[in-house]
């Protein structure tokens, strides 16, 4: 916790973290919104979070097998904790302050590659 707070302080404080949160979430939302329905965010754009981004994979109802493949492949790349809450399931990207721009770029790149490999 102390390391995260030091990082925030040393990198411009809360205002800088807000800007970084916007950049990170925009990367993920752009992939989702431009996926032609492969990734679907069930939250209206005006209500979307910059910290937690839920999505369905495969179509508007989600494809359980495809989501499992997504999570398994992400885990192979050391991307952890992308599984949604146990009561909701699906995919959830948590972009908290400790998550770097590079981490978000890695996830966005993975999502784009996964889309290209699995989109019908």
The pLDDT of residue 49 is 96
What tokens appear for 98 in the block?
A: 């400790």
Q: Which of 109, 89, 100 is nearest to 28 (CA)?
A: 109
Sheet holding 39-40, edge to edge: 39-40, 52-57, 91-94
In the prediction, which pLDDT does 81 show? 93
Q: Where are the domains positioned within the chain? A: 21-118
Q: What are phi and psi of 53, to 5 degrees?
A: -115, 105
Query: Directed axis angle between helix 2-10 and helix 13-33, to 10°?
Result: 100
Q: Is residue 88's pLDDT more than 80?
A: no
**Is the pLDDT higher at 82 or at 7?**
82
pTM above 0.75, yes or no: yes
Is the domain covering 21-118 a CATH 3.30.420.240 domain?
A: no
pLDDT above 90 covers what percent of the chain?
Answer: 79
pLDDT given for residue 30 in this prediction: 98
């Amino acid at each position: 916790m102390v390391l995260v707070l030091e990082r925030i302080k040393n990198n411009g404080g809360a205002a800088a973290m807000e800007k970084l949160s916007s950049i990170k979430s925009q990367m993920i939302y752009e992939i989702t919104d431009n996926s032609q329905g492969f990734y679907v965010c069930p939250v209206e754009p005006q209500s979307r979070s910059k910290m937690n981004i839920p999505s369905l994979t495969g179509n508007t109802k989600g494809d359980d097998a495809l989501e499992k493949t997504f999570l398994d492949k992400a885990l192979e790349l050391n991307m952890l904790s992308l599984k949604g809450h146990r009561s909701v399931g699906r995919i959830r990207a948590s972009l908290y302050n400790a998550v770097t721009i590079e981490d978000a770029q890695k996830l966005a790149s993975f999502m784009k590659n996964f889309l290209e490999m699995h989109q019908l």
